[in-house]
Structure 1
Amino acid sequence: GKGPGKGKIIRLVDTNGDGKADKHTVYANIDNPRGLIAVGTKLYVLHTVIPANVGKLTGMHLSVLEDKDWDGIADGEPKKLISDISPPKHNQDRGADHTTNGIRMGIDGWIYIAVGDFGIHGAKGTDGTELTMLGGGVLRVRPDGTEMEVYTHGLRNIYDIAIDPFMNIYTRGNTNDGGGWNVRFIHHIQTGEYGYPMLFKNFTQEIIPALVDLGGGSGTGAMFLQEPGWPEKYNNIAIMCDWGRSQLIIHRLTPDGPSFTQKPENFIRLHQITDVDTDASGRLYAGAWAGAGYRGSPDKGWVERIVPKNWVYKPFKSTAKSTDQELVNLLLSESSTARLAASQELLNRPNAMNAVAAIAANKSASLHSRVAAIFTYKQMAGPKANKGLAKLSADQTISEWVLRAIADRKTQLEGVNKEMLIPGLSDKNPRVRVAAAVALGRLGDKSAAGSLLSVANPPGEEKPIQAPANPPAFQTKAFKGLKTYPVDVDVSKFKQIYLAVTDGGDGDGEDHGAWFDPVFENGAGKQVKLSTLKWKSAKSGWGKIGYGISATGAPLKTGKGKLQPDGLGTHANSVIVYDVPAGAKKFRARVGLANTSKGRGKIQFIVSNSMPSISGSSSSKEGPHAKPNSPIILPHVAVKALVDMNAVEPCVEAVGGPNSRGALWALRLMHDEKAVEGLIAKYGSAVAEKFRPGILTALIRLYQIEAPYDGSWWWSTRPDTRGPYYRPIQWEGSKKIAPFIKSVWDKGEYRQIIATNNAKTRSGIKGIDIAKIADAPQEPEKPTIDLSAIARTKGQVGKMSIEDIILALADVKGDPERGEVLFTKQGCIACHTTSPDETPKGPYMGQVGAVLSRDQIAESILKPNASISQGFATVSVLTKDNKSMVGFITSESAEKIEMRDIAGQAHTFQVSNIKTRTELKISMMPAGLANSLSISDFASLVSFLSNKKG
């Protein structure tokens, strides 16, 4: 329960094995328990604290309870292991849907914690370790609350964690709300950066991508199933709950270097499934929310037991009552649940240590048993295990896990040296190479930096640096609105002309750009229409390129509706190349948004005599954030190791040599004045001349740093994804970087590279303005749809009860094509889109049929306040100059927010000018929008939406 005094942990027992709980106890009354791990007499729980006298959440903690007498009731109050594991403010303001969630223990004995993108501020472990993390990821801690550390970072709304017998970790996360609640399946590599939200769009070369974007859904519980009672087809599988699709889904995994590729497969359908787990007898348990709504219900939801056909129950003996030998034998079990239970109990049996070590060395034992033994032995022997484990590293079968275990705990590195680890960097097994690089980073010995640099170059051949491109002859600022701007460029020395259109950095999908009345003109004033010429090449980010047509294929018109039969329509990001006609002196045109953008795009125009550098264009090297990229993993973790050990001097020294690209990647992440000074000095050396563009790129990236996170703010459901920082600020090194970059600029060196990086990183180094700038004021959109008038019109739907309408829908299927017409007629298009190519407005309907049933869609239309779509809460804003606005937020950055009102009109507010911002408990969608419809038409509208499955 969300309120004070509503939460409890209930212990259910099936005493006769018939699949139904016949005994239960209230184990503990505790607010909002979010994750549980049972180990022997202990129960680890992630929970909130909601004092009755306060009535709202004041903290979230990881705690442990214990039931030593096994009476099913905790013996006392919970003991905190980590305090303040999620910022209270965000949980109070929004609720707990982006907060810290599930927990799971690995065979290595760490507790792994799924942290949503509320992040962490000031979490504190029992040993005094404090941790702050901007954004989401996986945290881990020892079972006594010590050694808390970040395992992976850069994820959004992860909910639970699956861990396989080989310490591969998997989660489901997602991307932004609104444009699609798309679910991503992620394989976690230790120290990996997954990029959300600052890097995953525009700096994808620096992240480890997710394995797949699965479209709409809502990821919840997760586990890896390995139980001997299950048939081979349904064993050794990663299984993930999808609350939105009401499915338990298998991800079939295929090795791909140090990672995997995957193939999803529906497994078990269960209404709004929330979580899944198994016991040591092989029984699978799944929780069903079952229509309890976003606020919960005490009368709905259940836990279901699932077993294979012909499954036979085999009792699992209490590990506390087992002998040492029985526990050692359990490490050889085919059940991952049994092995973990045995491993944890063996920590209390020091006399069994040698027998455990023998299994680790036993080449005839199964690999999962040897891995379990390696990590159990390390936990039993502590740092004394390192020497014995090192002897096993020559065994290729287990060397990956030996290296991981040796460096697993930074407090237990006695006797560990780089010589134990460096050979792993050249191992034939890519998983061993990654394990060695991570281990060296944990060791922190800077003298190993050279070895790490040898594997740090990103994949791909080094391309020769071309001669610096000339700056554009013309470039506008990014602008919106209906106005057009003149282009008048001297092309007398041009052989070719490049006409480029790029988006304004806001990711808007309606960037329908156009070159209006484009002509070449000779010295005598004679003009040649561009439409009479054939382009040499043309590439566009989306849609059509052509004379007299917009990117949609519609007749080309200016924003104010003037027909342009000779204009050139396109869509950002695009580059169109022409040979300049002989004798041409001028290129003239007007540029602006085509009327098909409805003034909602944000766009920028460039004219150049060489290929301009456009962030996000088809010529960009950025890649997808949800497509396997196994070759990047080893360089990625090697660079992270170099950064973690602050290997500034070795990286600077490496610039100019064969490992320059990896060194520069690491240096642009090291905010150390020695790195700045070293890069500036290196720029002037002859040995590094080839890498001067990379040096400039690194310095411009270092000009700003992420502001310290104080937990007082959250980036909302639509954060600014431009990157590379969310709230960039200058630091001491900035004072040295800016004058150096300006001096290079003033010499005319690498101006295109400087300008491109200055813009891409939003550094704002002064004096790097290379273009003629058009003043481009924004004009507000005009409302076109009166939703209130639609709601006032009464028809058959408006005269019936909701219950009768839902019953009628069972008999009336409707016409989806008619429904598409009604989607526009009833005003739905004011706030909703159905195609990923459209600009996101309100809740995205392109995959609603995959998430909601027909009845749920109907209820959402008829009762919009019953369940407000995630990310589209109604917000009231009052500015410092007493202007007010009620709407929902469509995008938000640290500087501004964009909102849409009830008519679908867009408004922009500077964050610094906002006096109050309040989230209301009502939906922006007014009730009654379907009142004027007949049952047949309403069924058609529902059928149209039901068919939208992404």
Structure 2
Amino acid sequence: DAASKAAADPYAKEGNIAPKIVKLSPQEEAEILKDVKVPEGFDVTLFSNWQAANYPVYVAAAPNGDLYVSSDGNGSLGREPGRGRVLRLRDTDGDGRADEVKEFVKNVDSPRGLIWDHDRLYLLHPPHISVYFDRDGDGIAEDSKKLIDGIAFGFADRPADHTTNGLELGIDGWIYIAGGDFGFMKATGTDGRTLQHRGGGVIRFRPDGSGLEIYATGTRNILGTPMSPLCDLFARDNTNDGGGWDVRFHHFSGLEDHGYPRLYKNFGEEHVPPLADYGGGSGCGSVYLHEPGFPDEWNHAPITCDWGRTASFVHTVQRQGASFAEITEPRPFIQMTRPTDADVDAMSAVYQASWKGPATFKWEGPNVGYIVRVTPKGYQPEPLPDFEKMSDAELVAALDSPSHIRTLTAQRTLLRREVNPVLSEALLALAKNPDKELKTRVAALYALIQVFEIDATNIKWLEPIASLVTENDLEPFVLRAIADLKFNPANQELPLEVFDDLVVMGLKSENSRSRIEALILSTRQRSKWGNSTEFGLFGNPMPMITALLADPDPRVAHTAFRALAMLGAKDAVIEALLSGPNPKGAAFALMRMHDVPGIVDDLLAKLAAEKRPETRQLLLATLCRLAQREGEWTGDSWGTRPDTRGPYYQPVKWAESDKILAALKSTLDAASPEEAAFL
């Protein structure tokens, strides 16, 4: 029974076993591997059993194949002390099996997503994100620094279910967070920037802990965001247990809302649809595979784990405008019981973790989990170079590797070097080279962008970087890179017309991804724009932005109304509602402008003067939406089945509510039968 079982487990109340290497016989290993199935053309070995790394939640491979494992005996529902740690597994003899284990971080609650970079490990461990340093390479962290405070709830409030989850380092130099929908009250970065998010989505920050921001919102409980060499982000979401939100496959482009829980049931026009809806399952961790040796049908694709469907799946996606389409059903890649996460090293080896054993959501004894290593049959990888010993020129050349992991490693190594004109010129030349693959040019561009914090001493680099926008394929990446620049225009003499020119060029581009990146770039300039009457050489860009409300690409049109709401551009948007090509899109933007001074008075004035029934209905709908707003969150949980009626989860009255309600009542009293029925 349960009582005798607990008595037999010395760790029933707290703690975890000390990890150790236990060599299995071929028969014992084969018995475990009966649980694993891989496609034809792949070899699989048991990299680790539960004795070396139990309860594996997330894994992160170093380029050389060292594997860092978030081992968490509390799972999603436990919160007992001493259950969590981070382990380093190493295969010293090259047989595909770990023969060394170290406790990299001996005791940390709820270890989740992790990234290895040279001599440091970025770790998300609710409620914080820290970086742990291992400068002597002995497999044990000797020092750490908190980067983000309060990015999730801690054990004092709740266990780590629906928490802030995976981490992904992009070639653009940002770390992307897969955020669960229980959200966070007040996250604070190293630069003092604070953020609150009631919901799930993608959050990002720079590796130094600065620049914290919401990248996309409206998901449920995503655990990973596999990212391509071209900065395409995806995720496999979780179901809301029968409430109409099944396992969805998302693509993230920036600024967008995916609809959970406020919009997906009743406000479908105001959120982006998923690429796919798979029905039941339970999305977990993920990896983007872009490595040599893998057959085409398994390569250059996001791979997501599904606990409930007992496999990781390869997604065949094809760019479709500013987003993607999944053109075939996902195909199972590594099948196993309860897969939790996967990662790939620079030697074309994939590592995937399983939670096989008696545990489901919390501690059930020590014998839970294993990790496998999967490689393309017969493939011999090129020897891994010593990146630290390579010259700047060799590292720039290494950006052209067929391995994304090697490209990223070369780029990270370059970013630790002293900035010098020769290196900068070499990166610029590679970014300009039309004979190179786009991913190589993008890696060079983002290396160049990250080398500089633009100020008066290196402003000369801004124009040549911006000039790359004329290279058609590079256009969206240049716009994104310029938007991401670290600089403070208030304190520097910078040629801001460069930014205006780029925005205008992007907004007019035939490339729908460029149009989205231009919209995002415009929101970065919102202190200068909004309802300002001062614009650059090309005049007021707002009509060009409002024109995108009617963009034929639905992802662009969605992003346009989200951007206009962020910009608070009420005058231009009201004009677009009255006479633009997509008045409804304009209304969606206005519905999100509670904090723009004068918004209600302006709308009421337009309503009083407006005679056209369709336009009056849009003005009335906008005022009805503005009559309430989302209430202040005090940290309470909305649980696994929140109210989905929308458009607010916690609607409350605000300063302008009474004025709006009085106007709506008087309008109703004088309304035609048709308008009264609408109201």
TM range (shorter): 0.7 to 0.9
Any residues of structure 2 matched to 1:144-293 within 5 Å, and which? 144-179=208-243, 182-262=246-326, 263=328, 264-291=330-357, 292-293=359-360
Any residues of structure 2 matched to 1:50-69 within 5 Å, and which? 60-69=127-136
* 1:64 to 1:692, Cα distance in 2 relative to 1, 3 A: same
Q: Which residue of the partner structure matches residue 398 of structure 1?
A: 474
Q: Which residue of the partner structure matches residue 729 of structure 1?
A: 652
What SS class does the counterpart of residue 397 from structure 1 fall into? helix
* 1:437 to 1:687, Cα distance in 2 relative to 1, 3 A: farther
* 1:79 to 1:393, Cα distance in 2 relative to 1, 3 A: same
Q: Is the 8 A contact 1:239 1:250 kept in 2?
A: yes
Any residues of structure 2 matched to 1:636-651 within 5 Å, and which? 636-651=558-573
For 1:250 and 1:730, the matched residues in 2 are separated by 47
2:600 aligned with 1:676: yes
Q: Is the 8 A contact 1:42 1:64 kept in 2?
A: yes
Q: Which residue of the partner structure matches residue 298 of structure 1?
A: 366
2:548 aligned with 1:662: no
Match of 2:424 among 338, 353, 357: 353
Q: Which residue of the partner structure matches residue 521 of structure 2?
A: 439
Q: Give the drift of 1:125.
A: 0.8
Q: Is the 8 A contact 1:697 1:753 kept in 2?
A: no
For 1:406 and 1:688, the matched residues in 2 are separated by 43
Q: Which residue of the partner structure matches residue 453 of structure 2?
A: 382
Q: Is the 8 A contact 1:194 1:208 kept in 2?
A: yes
Q: Which residue of the partner structure matches residue 308 of structure 1?
A: 376
Can you give the 5+ residue segments of structure 2 that lack an aligned partner in the other structure?
Answer: 1-72, 75-79, 531-539
- 1:69-121 Cα distance to aligned partner (Å, 9 max, x none): 11211122x21101111123xx5565322111111111111110111011110
Does 424-433 or 699-708 show the bigger shift? 424-433
Q: Is the 8 A contact 2:424 2:448 kept in 1?
A: yes
2:252 aligned with 1:329: no
Q: Percent identity?
A: 41
Q: Is the 8 A contact 1:123 1:131 kept in 2?
A: yes
Counterpart amino acid of residue 250 in structure 2 = I
Q: Give the drift of 1:443.
A: 2.0
Any residues of structure 2 matched to 1:794-873 within 5 Å, and which? none
Q: Which residue of the partner structure matches residue 408 of structure 1?
A: 484
For 1:299 and 1:320, the matched residues in 2 are separated by 39
* 1:175 to 1:678, Cα distance in 2 relative to 1, 3 A: farther
Q: Is the 8 A contact 1:181 1:217 kept in 2?
A: no
2:64 aligned with 1:142: no
Q: Is the 8 A contact 2:564 2:589 kept in 1?
A: yes
Match of 1:37 among 115, 120, 134: 115
Does 430-439 or 686-695 show the bigger shift? 686-695
What SS class does the counterpart of residue 147 from structure 2 fall into? strand
For 2:243 and 2:257, the matched residues in 1 are separated by 23
For 2:162 and 2:551, the matched residues in 1 are separated by 33
* 1:632 to 1:181, Cα distance in 2 relative to 1, 3 A: closer
For 2:566 and 2:299, the matched residues in 1 are separated by 38
* 1:752 to 1:146, Cα distance in 2 relative to 1, 3 A: farther
* 1:457 to 1:730, Cα distance in 2 relative to 1, 3 A: farther
What SS class does the counterpart of residue 656 from structure 1 fall into? helix
Q: Give the drift of 1:382.
A: 3.2
Q: Give the drift of 1:196.
A: 0.5
For 2:655 and 2:675, the matched residues in 1 are separated by 24
What SS class does the counterpart of residue 4 from structure 1 fall into? coil
Q: Is the 8 A contact 1:229 1:311 kept in 2?
A: yes
- 1:783-834 Cα distance to aligned partner (Å, 9 max, x none): xxxxxxxxxxxxxxxxxxxxxxxxxxxxxxxxxxxxxxxxxxxxxxxxxxxx
Any residues of structure 2 matched to 1:468-479 within 5 Å, and which? none
Q: Give the drift of 1:266.
A: 1.5
* 1:65 to 1:93, Cα distance in 2 relative to 1, 3 A: closer
Can you give the 5+ residue segments of structure 1 that lack an aligned partner in the other structure?
Answer: 49-59, 460-630, 758-950
* 1:181 to 1:691, Cα distance in 2 relative to 1, 3 A: closer
Q: Is the 8 A contact 2:523 2:567 kept in 1?
A: yes
RMSD: 1.9
Q: Give the drift of 1:15.
A: 2.0
For 2:610 and 2:235, the matched residues in 1 are separated by 48
Does 343-352 or 184-193 show the bigger shift? 343-352
Q: Which residue of the partner structure matches residue 604 of structure 1?
A: none
TM-score by length of 2: 0.81
What SS class does the counterpart of residue 434 from structure 1 fall into? helix
For 1:237 and 1:283, the matched residues in 2 are separated by 15
* 1:261 to 1:345, Cα distance in 2 relative to 1, 3 A: same
2:668 aligned with 1:745: yes
Q: Which runs of 4 or more aligned residues in structure 1 lie more than 6 Å from their structure 2 counterparts after TM superposition?
A: none
For 1:689 and 1:753, the matched residues in 2 are separated by 8
What SS class does the counterpart of residue 555 from structure 2 fall into? helix
Q: Which residue of the partner structure matches residue 429 of structure 1?
A: 511
Q: Is the 8 A contact 1:656 1:687 kept in 2?
A: no
* 1:359 to 1:283, Cα distance in 2 relative to 1, 3 A: same
For 1:109 and 1:395, the matched residues in 2 are separated by 22
Q: Give the drift of 1:432.
A: 1.6
* 1:740 to 1:373, Cα distance in 2 relative to 1, 3 A: same
Does 657-666 or 265-274 show the bigger shift? 657-666
Counterpart amino acid of residue 11 in structure 1 = R
Q: Is the 8 A contact 2:123 2:130 kept in 1?
A: yes
Q: Is the 8 A contact 1:438 1:638 kept in 2?
A: no
2:442 aligned with 1:371: yes
For 1:268 and 1:412, the matched residues in 2 are separated by 47
Q: Which residue of the partner structure matches residue 542 of structure 2?
A: 449
Counterpart amino acid of residue 364 in structure 1 = D
For 2:676 and 2:610, the matched residues in 1 are separated by 20
